[in-house]
Amino acid sequence: MNRKKIVSAAVIFLIALFALLILFNILPSKNNSSGLQQAGSGGPQGGSSRAATTVRVTEVKADTVEQSVIINGEILARNQITIYPTVGGRLTEVYRSIGDRVNRGDTIAMVDPSRPGEVYSRSPITSTVSGTVLQASYSIGDTVTTQTPVVIVGDLSALLVETNVAERFVGSIQQGLRAALWFEAFPGETFPAEVIEISPVLDPASRTMRLRLRFIDHDTRIKAGMFATLSLVTNRKVDIPVIPRASVINTYGSWIVFIVDENNIAHRREITLGIENEEFVEILGGINMGDRVVSAGQNFLSDGDRVRIVE
């Protein structure tokens, strides 16, 4: 009987001890929780406000935007004529060489049409235009026919640029379009030109259209046969609202910008774009003329953020 009392007392003691351990563990947790609540109950003063984001802004303004395509071209003499003999035979005299100046009607070479047993007087090859000899591929003693291009004469006082544009740009090409040209021989320099001739048909093999441009300013350093790179304007809009291209963010297929109000608060705006070039984009809707658009620092903004504007 005493043994049963001892066991019962031991069980009661263990239960009481276990209960005390639980109470000691719970009470400190409650105290800590209430302390944290009191520390955080200070409202807005207890929280930390987000610092203003440093940005640069640019006003929406009216400007001109040009779209261009980069293509290659070759420099040609404006009037470039191939001279053929009127009779076949052997070249007996050549009076002009590459680079020589000729006038219309000048004799360039002489052809002897004589054959064995037949003697004929020599026939002159005359230039049909005035200009400079650009090519002379035949020498005395060569046999020529009426289909032999003895010389090519061109007018170097008026050079042209010949190039080809892809079919997708055909709808944008028109007389008077401007282009900027540059040459490897003159690094850092550009030469203005404009379209003066447009082919009425496309090349069926390359699906391109031939263009010819004239130089706005004559420069004696440019030679026929030189290779040029062109930036040809295919679209031009004047006095349209534009912003820097770097201001625009593409988010899930939508174009957005941030504008800044008079209180230096940033607001997210979805916009519609028009034509663009390397620097600017046209604005068709979403913001207005005079709005201050964030042009640097916009990637770190959210709608409603406070900003600090720097120059």
Give the model's pLDDT for residue 225: 87
Confidence tier at 32 by pLDDT (50, 70, 90):
very low
End-to-end CA distance of the chain: 96
Look at residues 122, 138, 154 and tell me which one is the last residue of a structural domain: 154
Domain check: are 231 and 251 in the same one? no
pLDDT computed for residue 7 by the predictor: 63
Q: What pLDDT, on the 0 to 100 scale, is given for residue 250?
A: 92
Cα 243 from Cα 171, distance rounded (Å): 27
Two tokens at 249?
């963010």
Q: Mean of the pLDDT values across residues 167-194?
A: 92
Tally the C-alpha atoms within 13 A of residue 164's C-alpha that lie toward its C-beta: 11
Residues 163 and 232 in one domain: yes
pLDDT value at residue 18: 67
Residue 162 sits in the same domain as residue 282: no
Q: In this prediction, what percent of the chain has a pLDDT beyond 70?
A: 85
**% of residues, the chain, pLDDT over 90:** 59
The domain of 131 spans: 81-154
- Span 240-249, average pLDDT: 93
Of 93, 128, 154, which residue sits at a domain end? 154
In a domain, 248, yes or no: yes
Count of domains in the chain? 3
Cβ neighbours around 195 below 10 Å, total: 21
CATH at 128: 2.40.50.100
Query: Does 180 lie in the same domain as 129?
Result: no
Report pTM. Answer: 0.57
pLDDT digits (tens, 9 = 90+) for 275-295: 888 889 999 999 999 999 999
DSSP code for 86: S
Cα–Cα distance measured from residue 148 to residue 82, given in angstroms and rounded to the nearest whole number:
9
Same domain, 246 and 226: no
Given a cut of 60, is residue 42 above it in pLDDT? no
Residue 303 burial by Cβ neighbours in a 10 Å radius (0-12, 13-18, 19+): exposed
Average pLDDT on 241-254 reads 92
194: left (phi over 0), alpha (psi -120 to 50) or beta: beta
Residues 72 and 220 in one domain: yes
Distances (CA, A) of 268 to 106, 188, 271, 272, 302: 75, 41, 10, 14, 7
Last residue of a domain, one of 96, 125, 154: 154
Tell whether 301 is covered by a domain.
yes
Please write down the HEC assignment for all residues of 82-148.
EECCCCCEEEEEECCCCCCEECCCCEEEEEECCECCECCCCEEEECCCCEEEEEECCCCCCEECCCC
- What is the reported pLDDT for 99? 86
Mean of the per-residue pLDDT values of the chain:
86
Is there a single domain that holds both residue 233 and residue 167?
yes
User: Band of the pLDDT at 33, cuts 50, 70, 90?
Assistant: very low
CATH number at residue 175: 2.40.30.170
Whether residue 145 is contained in a domain is answered as yes
Neighbour count for residue 161 (Cβ, 10 Å): 25
